[in-house]
Amino acid sequence: MSASPAEDLSKDVETLRKEMQELLVQREFGLQRFAGSDTDIRFYTRFPSYDHLMAFWFLIEPCIYKMIRVSRAKSAANRNEEVLTPARTSMRQLLQPVDEFFLFLVFLSVGLKERDLAHRFNIHQSTVSRIIATWTNFLATALGSQCIWLTRAEVQAYLPEEFKDFSDTQMILDCTELRCQTPSSPLLQSEMYSSYKSHCTMKALVGIAPHGPATFISNLYAGSVSDKEVFKQSGIAEKLTEDMAVMVDKGFLITDCCKCKVYCPPFLSKQKQMPAYQVKETQAIARLRVHVERVIRRIKQNKLFDSIITMSHVYNINQLFAVACMLSNYQNTALVKKWVK
């Protein structure tokens, strides 16, 4: 008789303990809080589902122990020492590695300010800044070590039927611009000013394979640099051979800069009206070239690039943009179903 009330009390205590744990998870702003909602995962990380996100996490998790913290790298640099080994895992961390990764994705995808993230994750703003810098370097190194350039044979193996009239197409190219804070220097202002955007910008060249994945990402250049000059400085011309072709927009005048064939919509020139065959060619190229614009739109759905890039992030914006481009290959479904196995 006396054992029964004790058992009931122990069950109640266990139930209350579980409820407290659930409330703590709901209170904390971390990955586990949103594990049951794919809609929230999509909003905060750009990954389509929690399972998709964790599949990517399991790819990079084995490399976490090699991560070099920014604070450790700076202290070693001040002492003129080289960081040969990462910090010991026994060191206390305010957040678990998976929550640090989640914080970085929220920063990139939602574009929240560091102070906002500090309040949400209940850590200091300087800690947020160090986590973002550390994960930017880590992902740029980890993802950058994987070759995203595809050989001609690989591109041909997954060439969609829509490209049958342009079967030698190796990639589709386009430039995109990110608005940035206006520099105080008049000389820098003139270099960064884009007449197309009527604002100071940074410009990058993005190339995709016909079936959708990003296979080339250039550095960011000043907004006043022409598309042709970005193409020349990016080094992509060296990768393109005579048996390849690229597809570009009408303003991309790169025929004299590369060995490969260039598919570009024809100009009206001095004609009053385009011949029928040129109209059909223009429409055919436009229908296929739009895929690169769709990929760039996916990349710029990361809200960090929606707002004006402040000077405080200019030092690592090249890495942030490259990471966003490379993550898009893992985050999204393919543009063409043939790529999906």
Same structural domain, 39 and 177: no
Residue 201 structure tokens: 């910008």
Q: Kindly state whether residues 20 and 162 are assigned to the same domain.
A: no
The mean per-residue pLDDT over the stretch 183-210 comes to 92
Is the pLDDT at 327 greater than 60? The verdict is: yes
Considering the domain boundaries, does residue 336 fall inside one? Answer: no
**Is the domain of 194 the same as that of 301?**
yes
Mean pLDDT for the chain overall: 85
Task: Looking at the structure, tell me whether residues 252 and 317 fall in a common domain.
Answer: yes
Q: Which domain holds residue 239?
A: 152-331
What does the pLDDT read at residue 78?
61
Confidence category of residue 226, pLDDT binned at 50, 70, 90: very high
Residues 131 and 165 occupy one common structural domain: no
Residues 6+ apart with CB under 8 A from 248: 172, 173, 174, 254, 262, 263, 264, 289
The alpha helices in 36-194, defined as continuous H runs, are 38-45, 50-60, 70-78, 97-110, 114-121, 125-144, 152-157, 186-192
Determine the pLDDT at residue 266: 77
How many domains, in total, are found in the chain?
Answer: 2
Q: Of the ranges 82-96, 102-116, 225-239, 280-294, which one carries the lowest mean pLDDT score?
A: 82-96
Verify that 141 and 156 share a domain, yes or no: no
End residue of a domain, out of 130, 145, 160: 145
Three-state DSSP state, 224: coil
Shared domain check, 121 and 43: yes
Between 256 and 218, where is the model more confident?
Answer: 218
Residue type at position 290? V
**Nearest-angstrom CA–CA distance, 308 and 317:** 12
Percent of the residues in the chain that have a pLDDT greater than 90, as a whole number? 58
What's the pLDDT score for residue 21? 64
Mean pLDDT of 73-79: 63
pLDDT recorded at residue 17: 77
Pick the more confident residue, 173 or 312.
173
Domain annotation covers residue 199: yes
CA separation for the pair 199, 192 (Å, rounded): 8
- CA–CA gap between residue 43 and residue 50 (Å, rounded): 11
Are 193 and 266 in the same domain? Answer: yes
DSSP 171: E
Pair 118, 206 in one domain? no
**Rounded alpha-carbon distances, angstroms, from residue 321 to 41, 262, 288, 307, 317:** 21, 27, 24, 14, 6
